[in-house]
Structure 1
Amino acid sequence: MPRISEPTVAEHRARQLRTLLDAARALVAEEGIEALSLAALARRVGVSRPGLYEYFRSKDDLVAAILEEELPRWAALVAASLDGPDGLAGKVGAYVRAQLEVMTDGRHAAAVALVEHALAEPARERIRDGHARLLRPLVTALAEGGVPEPELRAELIQGIVDAAAKLAQRRPGDSGAIVRAAVAQAVHGLGG
């Protein structure tokens, strides 16, 4: 039986899972999504590959676990950002700014890269649920603001955010201008 480093097996497993997820995020942030594999993660943390199977059956499970852990924190940050501003334009602007801040900071770089990863359907379904939590505060703000089809409009605003995040990653020196343009586009369309 392997040695445990915590008072209970459950605490040991929770700590080991945290270590594995942190190492996987660091691996993606440093080397890109292509570098993420169960073998690479095992080497990085000094765990046998069969030992990883106790936590993840596949790379898809690993990717989904990283995103499932990150999405609730991300959703809480986004929801909190919409609590402050008054009016629909203020709330939409806050949503776009909060999303872009999260999507372009280094801490979340792995999660953003992993969202692009081609996952099998069960893992994609788990991520869609988390993504819906991210959109919920915006959908609510749009509905309360009398915007027709708030779910559709929220998805379209998220499309602006996604495009702006990709552009900001390619042109980090222009991130301020990109954020301002994305907010203006989401709030005012081409007229703003």
Structure 2
Amino acid sequence: MPRISERTVAEHRARQLRNLLDAARALVAEEGIEALSLAALARRVGLSRPSLYEYFRSKDDLVAAIVEEELPRWASLVEAALAGPPDLVGKVEAYVRSQLEVMTDGRHAAAVALVEHALAEPARERIRDGHAQLLRPLARAFAEAGVPEPELRAELVQGIVDAAANLAQRRPGQAEAIIAATLDQAVHGLTLPGRLAAS
């Protein structure tokens, strides 16, 4: 039996899993998504491939585990951001800003990149289920304000956020301008300042 550094086997496995996920995130951050494989992770942490298979059955399983670990923290940040503003416009602005801050900071960069990676359907389904947590606070704010089709509207706002995050990663020097334009687009659409939208 391998030597364990915790009081119980369960604690040892939990610590080992956290170390593996941290190492996988670091690998993606340093070398890109294509560098992530079970073999590369095994080399990085000094485990044999069979030992790694005790934690992840495939690369897809590893990717889903990285994203799943990140999503609850991410969702709590979004929830906290929307708890502040009393009005719907403020809540939409808080959602957009908090999402973009998370999606463009280094801590979450690996998870954000991996969400876009081509995965088999079971892993994509696991990620979709977790990702729905992020939309709930915004959909709830829309519903409470009487906005029709709140879940659809939340998905559309998220689409704008996803596009903005991709732009911000490609144009790091323009991050603040991209955030400002995204906020304006999400809240005001194409209404020009000082004019009413065409009816």
Percent identity reads: 84
Q: Which residue of 1 aligns with 2:11?
A: 11
Gaps in structure 1 of 5+ consecutive residues: none
Q: Secondary structure at 1:143's aligned position in 2?
A: helix
Deviation readout 1:55-105 (Å, 9 max, x if unpaired): 000001100111111001000000100000121100000000000000000
> Aligned pairs, how many?
192
Q: Quick one: distance in 1 between partners of 2:86 and 2:6? A: 47
The CA deviation at 1:123 is: 1.1
Query: In the alignment, which residue of structure 2 is the partner of 1:75?
Result: 75
Q: RMSD in angstroms over aligned alpha carbons?
A: 0.7
Trace 1:15-164 onto structure 2 (pairs within 5 A).
Answer: 15-164=15-164
User: Which has more radius of gyration?
Assistant: 2
What code does the residue aligned with 1:124 have? R
Using structure 2 for the length normalisation, give the TM-score.
Answer: 0.95
Deviation at 1:7, TM superposition (A): 1.5
For structure 2, which runs of at least 5 residues remain unmatched after alignment?
Answer: 193-199
Shift of residue 165, structure 1, vs aligned partner? 0.3
**Deviation of the 1:6 alpha carbon:** 1.2
Matches of 1:119 and 1:79, distance apart in 2? 28
Secondary structure in 2 aligned to 1:191?
coil
Aligned equivalent of 2:184:
184
* Amino acid across the alignment from 1:102: V
Q: Distance in 1 between matches of 2:19 and 2:133?
A: 26
Separation in 1, partners of 2:18, 2:140: 33
The letter of the residue matching 2:119 is L
In proportion to residue count, which structure has more helix?
A: 1
Give the whole-Å Cα distance in 2 for the aligned partners of 1:64 and 1:82.
Answer: 26
TM-score w.r.t. the length of structure 1 is 0.98
| Matching residue's letter, 1:16 | Q
